[in-house]
Chain A
Amino acid sequence: MRRSRLTHHVSKTMKESNPRLWLLAGGGLLVGLVLMAVILIVRPFGPPNFHGTVFQSSQPAQNFSLTAHTGDRVNLHDFQGKVVLLYFGYAYCPDVCPATMGELARAVRALRPSQQEQVQVIMVTVDPERDTLELLTDYMGYFHPTFLGLTGSEEEIAAAAMPLGIYYEKEEGTVVSGYLVNHTASVLVLDKRGYLRIVYPFDTNGEDIASDLRYLIRE
Chain B
Amino acid sequence: MGQLIHIFRKDVRHFWREIVLSLGILTAFVWNTPRGWLPERYPEASDWFPWSSWLPALIALSWVLLILRAVEDEPLVGDRQFWLTRPYEWKRLLAEKILFVLTFINLPLFVAQLILLRVAGFAPFSFVKELLWIQVVWMAILILPMATLATVSAGMGSTVLAVLGIVVFLTAFGTLSDRLHLPHPAILRGVPQGLLIAVLLGTFVVVVVWQYARRRTGRARLLLAIVGSAVLLIGAMTPGTPFNADGYPLGAAEQSMPVMLAFDSAKHVSDERPPVKDKVLIEIPLLAAGVAANSAVEVDGKLVQIEAPGGLRWESGWERGGMNLLPDESSTLTTFEMDKSSFERMKSAEATVHLSFAMTAIEPSELRQIPVSGGVFSVPGGAYCWIQPESLSGLVCRAPLRSPFLVASTNIDESTCGMAESPNETSSGTIFYGWNWNGYSGPGGPEMSPVEVFQLQLMHGTRLHQESARICPGTPITFATLREGKRMRSELTIEGIRLADYKLKEFGRGLGAVSIGVHAR
User: Do these two chains really belong together in a complex?
Assistant: no
Residues of chain B whose beta carbon lies under 8 Å from any beta carbon of chain A: none
Residues of chain A whose beta carbon lies under 8 Å from any beta carbon of chain B: none
